[in-house]
Amino acid sequence: MSTQHSKAAKEFLQNQQYAHWHDATFWAVRTKRDNMAMGLDEWEQLREKASAIKRHTITHLDEYLDQFATNAEKNGVEVHWAKDAQEFNEIVYGILKNHDVKKMVKSKSMLTEECEMNPYLEAHGIEVVETDLGERIIQLKDQKPSHIVMPAIHLNHDDVGELFEEKGISNEKGNHDPTYLTYMARLSLRNEFLTADAGMTGANFGIAETGDIVVCTNEGNADMSTSCPKLHIAAIGLEKIIPNYDCLAVFQRMLCRAGTGQPTTTYTSHFRKARPTAHHMHIVLVDNGRSEWIANPEHWESLKCIRCGSCMNTCPVYRRSGGYSYSYFIPGPIGINLGMLRDPQAHSGNVSACTLCNSCQTVCPVKVNLGDQIYLWRQQLDSLGTANPQKKLMCRAMSMFYGSSSLYNFGTGMAHWANLIPSPVINSGLNPWAEGHKMMQFPQKPFHEIIKGITKSEK
């Protein structure tokens, strides 16, 4: 009956101290979000507005994509369209090859993670250097991101200190002070920026009215990645397009407040065209399933997602199991939903990584109905062929038992005999509930018998 997630979570929880620290770390970010949200009287209005803008844009996406591409091209930007991950990788490689690129620096892009771009480019002889500090750390450790905004959050400063010593980024053995480590990372990355032939960014938003892409970073690494090398490639998913600057203002107020509990990122940069001394700027618009998902009547609202990370920060399951417990590259509530859209058979296990508490839905800045959708996916498991057979059997047995008053009354009347079952049997592997719980003692008389007796005697 155990899913991949529950097995992975069990291992994660073996180290209780670590699990508590992980949980507390994310709860702290959730608390920061709460402070931000409570500090704005208009927070709920902004959420509704953001949701409405996204609903409108996604349902008219063809018009806005057309407008965006036309305006970007008017700015001298070369616009490419990638129907899937493979095409995206090929397009990017093509551009890099044309410019003889040996090394590319990149700022954070979960889209490139989705398309598995880094291994593709490396297999074709191009060095890719992550410049977001969290991404750089996990790149050096050969790990995947465990969170979409804070990819190395599962590591502490000793882990980073030891890594930097090993990779020659840090000079002082044993100095794991975060400020020192960050300073050494900065020196190392400065060198990468200055010696790279190309810079790639993702995009938090694409503005249809102007053809700008907007990138939000705390580190300024998108700015460095595009200011030093002469070639800039921007990767953006179709659903990231929004109509105009007025709309941007709504999302800009919410993105960081929701995701990191900051009023804004340190840098919010617009990229409209290549600098005069540089080569072209390229934008690659990526579909990779999105246009199909828009047509899904129950799940299209997942495309409103602005990738803030708020849902996973609050999710009690994510906080206690970590990003690596999920089978999809995006974890947490949005990851469960996007994974099911991507490949329902492969990622069905994730839908039970949820208590249906709906905290995710409550915090989502664009009102994606995350919990409701997870509940819907659960109901579809049987038709997908991924429903757990033991759980199905248990549910049928329970329907029969609870559906018949004679069976129910008989069963609850007899239940106290179960108290006599010896504890090695009760606590054996056959009873999954016994793990972590001491079995309850059934009363001699069920409550409804007692109350019947009382009401009878009062008559």
Partner 1 sequence: MGRDKVERHIQTGAEYVTGPDCSCLMHMAGVAKKQGLKIQFMHVVEILAAGL
Does 450 help bind partner 1 (rule: CB under 8 A)? Answer: yes
C-alpha count within 13 angstroms, C-beta hemisphere, residue 292 = 9
CB of 317 to partner 1, least distance (A): 8
CB of 410 to partner 1, least distance (A): 19
Q: Which of these segments, 52-60, 66-74, 124-132, 443-451, binds partner 1 (CB under 8 A)? A: 443-451
Q: Which residues pair with 237 in a beta bridge?
A: 286
Instruction: Pick between residue 19 and residue 278 the one whose CB is nearest to partner 1.
Output: 19
Size of the site for partner 1 (CB under 8 A): 15
Does 421 help bind partner 1 (rule: CB under 8 A)? Answer: no
**Core vs surface per residue 228-241: b (16+ CB within 10 A) or e:** bbbbbbbbbbbbbb
Distance CA 258, CA 103 (A): 34
Helix (H) or strand (E) holding 20: helix 16-38
List 78, 439, 442, 449, residue binding partner 1 (CB under 8 A)? 439
- Residue holding tokens 């047509």? 295
CB 281 within 8 A of CB 271: yes
Q: Would you give the distance in Å from CA 379 to the centre of its chain? A: 22
3-state SS assignment for residue 231: coil
Q: Binding string to partner 1 for residues 350 to 389, with x set by CB under 8 A, is what?
A: -----x----------------------------------
Does 451 help bind partner 1 (rule: CB under 8 A)? Answer: yes
Judged by phi (left if over 0) then psi (alpha if -120 to 50, else beta), residue 57 lies in alpha
Does 447 help bind partner 1 (rule: CB under 8 A)? Answer: yes
User: How far apart, in Å, are the Cα atoms of 327 and each of 6, 70, 76, 288, 382?
Assistant: 11, 38, 41, 19, 19
Does 454 help bind partner 1 (rule: CB under 8 A)? Answer: yes
Q: Which of these segments, 90-98, 230-238, 297-305, 446-454, binds partner 1 (CB under 8 A)? A: 446-454
CB of 440 to partner 1, least distance (A): 6
Does 423 help bind partner 1 (rule: CB under 8 A)? Answer: no
Distance CA 197, CA 204 (A): 23
List 23, 48, 90, 162, residue binding partner 1 (CB under 8 A)? 23
Write out the binding residues for partner 1, residues 164-223 only, by CB under 8 A. none
CB of 437 to partner 1, least distance (A): 3
Does 425 help bind partner 1 (rule: CB under 8 A)? Answer: no
CB of 28 to partner 1, least distance (A): 15
C-alpha count within 13 angstroms, C-beta hemisphere, residue 444 = 0
CB of 319 to partner 1, least distance (A): 9
CB of 436 to partner 1, least distance (A): 6
List 437, 444, 445, 452, residue binding partner 1 (CB under 8 A)? 437
Distance CA 265, CA 108 (A): 14
List 440, 444, 445, 452, residue binding partner 1 (CB under 8 A)? 440
Pairing state between β 198-201 and 232-237? parallel
Q: Which of these segments, 119-127, 201-209, 377-385, 450-458, binds partner 1 (CB under 8 A)? A: 450-458
Instruction: Report the candidate in 395, 398, 399, 397 with the shortest Cα–Cα distance to residue 382.
Output: 395
Does 438 help bind partner 1 (rule: CB under 8 A)? Answer: yes
CB of 274 to partner 1, least distance (A): 51
Distance CA 285, CA 287 (A): 7
CB atoms within 10 A of CB 142: 6
- Backbone φ and ψ for 199, nearest 5 degrees, come out as -130, 135
CB 83 within 8 A of CB 291: no
CB of 403 to partner 1, least distance (A): 18
Does 397 help bind partner 1 (rule: CB under 8 A)? Answer: no
Q: Binding string to partner 1 for residues 306 to 335, with x set by CB under 8 A, is what?
A: ----------xx--x---------------
CB of 261 to partner 1, least distance (A): 22
Binding site for partner 1 (CB under 8 A): 23, 316-317, 320, 355, 433, 436-440, 447, 450-451, 454
